[in-house]
Amino acid sequence: MIESVDEHVVRRLGQWEDPDDRIPDERVSTEDLLALFDAQAQSRHLDLAARWLQSQGQGFYTIGSAGHESNAAVAMALRPTDPALLHYRSGGFFAARAAQVPGSAPVADVLASLVAAVRDPISGGRHKVFGSHDLSIIPQTSTIGSHLPRAVGLAFSLDRTHALGLPCPWPEDAVVVCSFGDASANHSTSVGALNSAGWCAHQGVPLPLLMVCEDNGIGISTRTPGGWTARALSSLPGLDYAQVDGDDPEAALLATRELAGRVRASRRPAVLHLRTVRFMGHAGSDAELAYRTRTEILAEYDRDPLLATARALVARGALTPAAALDRYESARGRVMALAETMIGAERLDSPERVMAPIAYPLVATRTPIPRDLALEESTGRPLTLAQTINATLAEVMTERPATTVFGEDVAVKGGVYGVTRGLRKAFGSARVFDTLLDEQTILGTALGAALAGLLPIPEIQYLAYLHNAEDQLRGEAATLAFFSDGQYRNGMVVRIAGLAYQRGFGGHFHNDNSIAVLRDIPGLVLAVPSHPADVPELLGTCVALAHDEGRVCVLLEPIALYHTRDLHEDGDQGWLAGADAIGAATSAGHAFGRARLHGDGRDLLIVTFGNGLPMSLRVARRLAGEGIGATVLDLRWLAPLPVHDLTRTAAEFERVLVVDETRHSGGVSEAVLGVLHDAGHPGSIARVNSHDSFIPLGPAAGAVLLDEDSIADAARQTMRRSRTAPR
């Protein structure tokens, strides 16, 4: 039987046998060492309380900070106005920062989070996180370093926001701090963030970021090779590097103070390699003896940062061992007294309460459904889809000075398809800029920019490229409001060039019709403009949602329609829109959740979106020649679906055909049919899709993509079906 780390601390302090005869470092005050010890003791007893609460059936999280409490020194080297994005073993940091802000209640806050109580002041009972709006700690649930791109983006944006003269939540000389483990340092997201930080530093771009790797030498049960972390982190170009042992409190306080000060003054990123230990296993269910020997576990007890701080205080004569034990036990008493009050705490008990921070805004449904916008209704220079997006972006950037546009090739080149052409010249390099080729960095920049007070509109060059970084939207962007109970939000509009029908050009990576991941993210808004006349409303609405509600929005732009001009015949200019409506539409922001009708046929309703819209309109004309009157409903919004407009329009038709250019399995049509079924549609409902295939290069693409002949055949077959129930 191995004594617990708590028993070890009590025994060692009660039977002090190894006095430290080192000469105290006068650069570290006794007051700082006492504050460090108190933060470490508080964190240690919160870990013990987490296990006790679990044993009572009241606690739901047991990943602790025991052994990592030296990270309290990092908080003490910073200010409570320095934004922090923390590793999940950051109890010491949280305690030390709270001590810097009068009126804080860190013990009660952490305990409430452990028991998923509604009173938890950061997440409202949704998750155990280290977070606090008052302490500038932005909550993270990441265990693999996926918060690091956001940290880089925030550091990148701080100085930029101030330079633009825009309001920023943090001071002009603020430093961003983020922490992660040695195992997580190997994750591609962390490696990408470290690379992008070095990329900025190499070019002299201000990036006040302190990245703290808390190295305990093991990831759950997988050991980190000896020397690997130091070799990897110290060799990063452009990044200052310092290493310190967590069981040397004076050195830790000095190293963190020096490095944080250097980052603040130079506005350059740095890495602190903080060597720690891990006590009590990975989490409550982790049986450490299954993969570590008794000797190894006991050897790490000698590196306990809490005992090391006590030793330094005893060496100074500031505490006796008995006084240190009393201080430790006093912390236990305070923590456990509050832990007992958490028994039976109120918890979230309804879908509405759980989902409140990410609930979609209300949709105005009393007004008539919007109908088609013909070219002749507008005046001014006719614009293509790409030109309308460009003009709308220019209008948005003029109206909202905090708007920034960035991504790969968007600045000097103006985008692969010219969609952002001229914006850099018009608005300057501080607001329109190119990034390195890394989608995680692009989205992480947006995540940080939004926190810094900017309104980011990043571009992902192709939909297929998003899949390299989709967790930045799912696990970081969309969850922030959820896990902070709406106290932190990162409103943005992500522009993605996507979908297919580029006549076989580019193959899979340039023709991607897989959008299931975007529709599966709670709270995310997904819009697809097909006709140029829809762009001002849809993009303008997304901008309003991002700015006013902190909503994460995605504008999926059909590449094949970017430069389309005609609809039915060459020269008819049926796929253009007048430039005069852009300003009014972008200011209105009223199109959320509204579909659009095209045509007035009464025999068949065709429900579609994206490239399906022009194809369906052409098929509708063909069907009209056969005596079949079809109306086309453009969904425009795919997340959430425009349920009200869809159901009330479908109710007027005996037959409905869903035309879906995405895949048969996992495509949009499945959800549309589900909505109509749930609404009790009494008539015939059918769908036609592209095949369940990646899209090949060249003419073979046509073999798997939905085409107009398939749509027409499906429409005729639907018309032959008899009504399934009386209307």
State the CATH number of the domain containing residue 110.
Answer: 3.40.50.970
The domain total for the chain is 3
Q: Are residues 55 and 184 in the same domain?
A: yes
Can you list the residues of the chain whose pLDDT is less than 70? 1, 18-20, 142-143, 364-366, 373-380, 581, 583-589, 722-727
Catalytic residue flag (residue 510): yes
Q: What are the pLDDT digits (tens) for 256-315?
A: 999 999 999 999 999 999 999 999 988 878 888 888 888 888 889 999 999 999 999 999
Residue 440 within a domain = yes
User: What is the model's pLDDT at position 375?
Assistant: 43
Domain ends where: 568, 584, 614? 568
User: What is the model's pLDDT at position 297?
Assistant: 87
User: What is the model's pLDDT at position 500?
Assistant: 92
Residues 6+ apart with CB under 8 A from 678: none
Phi, psi of 373 (to 5 degrees): -105, 105
Contact 672, 641 (CB under 8 A): yes
Range of the domain at 629: 596-720
Q: Are residues 330 and 392 in the same domain?
A: no
Q: Are residues 166 and 290 in the same domain?
A: yes
Domain ends where: 302, 327, 344? 344
State the CATH number of the domain containing residue 661.
Answer: 3.40.50.920
Q: Are residues 49 and 165 in the same domain?
A: yes
Q: What's the token pair of residue 406? A: 């960035």
CA distance 112 to 116: 6
CA distance 310 to 325: 9
User: What is the model's pLDDT at position 1?
Assistant: 61
Q: Are residues 263 and 390 in the same domain?
A: no
Residue 586 within a domain = no
CA distance 156 to 149: 10
Q: What are the pLDDT digits (tens) for 635-659?
A: 999 999 999 999 999 999 999 999 9
Q: Are residues 455 and 601 in the same domain?
A: no
CA distance 159 to 173: 8
Beta strand 455-460 with 525-527 is unpaired
Q: Are residues 541 and 602 in the same domain?
A: no
User: What is the model's pLDDT at position 376?
Assistant: 44
Q: Are residues 564 and 600 in the same domain?
A: no
Question: DSSP string covering 401-466, please?
Answer: TTEEEEETT-SSS--TTSTTTTHHHHH-TTTEEE--S-HHHHHHHHHHHHHTT-EEEEEES-HHHH
CA distance 260 to 270: 8
Q: Are residues 244 and 319 in the same domain?
A: yes
Would you tell me how many other CB atoms lie within 10 Å of the CB of residue 78? 26
Q: Are residues 432 and 562 in the same domain?
A: yes
User: What is the model's pLDDT at position 287?
Assistant: 83
What is the three-state SS of 407-421? Answer: ECCCCCCCCCCCCCC
Residue 510 within a domain = yes
Domain ends where: 550, 568, 586? 568
Angle at 42 between CA 40 and CA 46, to 5 degrees: 115
Name the β-bridge partners of 684.
655
Residue 218 within a domain = yes
Residue 591 within a domain = no
Residue 91 within a domain = yes
Contact 260, 222 (CB under 8 A): no
CA distance 67 to 245: 12
Q: Are residues 526 and 608 in the same domain?
A: no
Residue 581 within a domain = no
Query: Taking Cα atoms as reference points, which of 182, 174, 164, 192 lies closest to residue 138?
Result: 174
Residue 10 within a domain = no
Q: What's the token pair of residue 155? A: 């550091």
Q: Are residues 40 and 98 in the same domain?
A: yes
Indicate which residue of 68, 87, 510, 531 is catalytic.
Answer: 510
